Amino acid sequence: MSDEPTSRATFAEYGERFQIEEGFLDDKSGLFGLEDSKLRDAASLERLILVISVATLLLVSEGLQLVQQGVRRTIDPHWNRALSYLKLGLRGVHFALSRGRQYSTA
């Protein structure tokens, strides 16, 4: 629901918003389990967030690269393409390593 008139811009804005929400889900509970860490020490939490940030960058880059290369169906064969780039990247890394292939970020 919105108090703005419906237009293509409205749909684009909500699409961006949903991507942001999906990112929070990946960070908090969907992929990394940040909430499950139960860390109370600020310094430890900062280090964990740094590691999660680096991993997120790596995996999102990998997921985007897989889509650009046109091999998404190999990693995500389902009809409904609802996986985030982060989850695609993680599956891509697992896919390569489970088949004894060298994984490279290049």
Kindly give, in sequence order, each residue whose CB lies less than 8 Å from that of residue 98, ignoring residues fewer than 6 positions away: none
Q: Are 67 and 88 in contact (CB under 8 A)?
A: yes
Q: How far is CA 49 from CA 19, 28, 52, 100, 103, in A?
A: 20, 10, 5, 30, 24
pLDDT at 54 over 90: yes
Question: What number is the average pLDDT over the span 84-104?
Answer: 83
Question: Residue ranges per domain, the chain?
Answer: 8-98
Q: Are 30 and 56 in contact (CB under 8 A)?
A: no
Q: Identify which has the larger pLDDT, 30 or 58.
A: 58
CA 82/CA 27 separation, integer angstroms: 17
Question: What number is the average pLDDT over the span 53-59?
Answer: 91
* Model pLDDT, residue 6: 74
* Model pLDDT, residue 12: 72
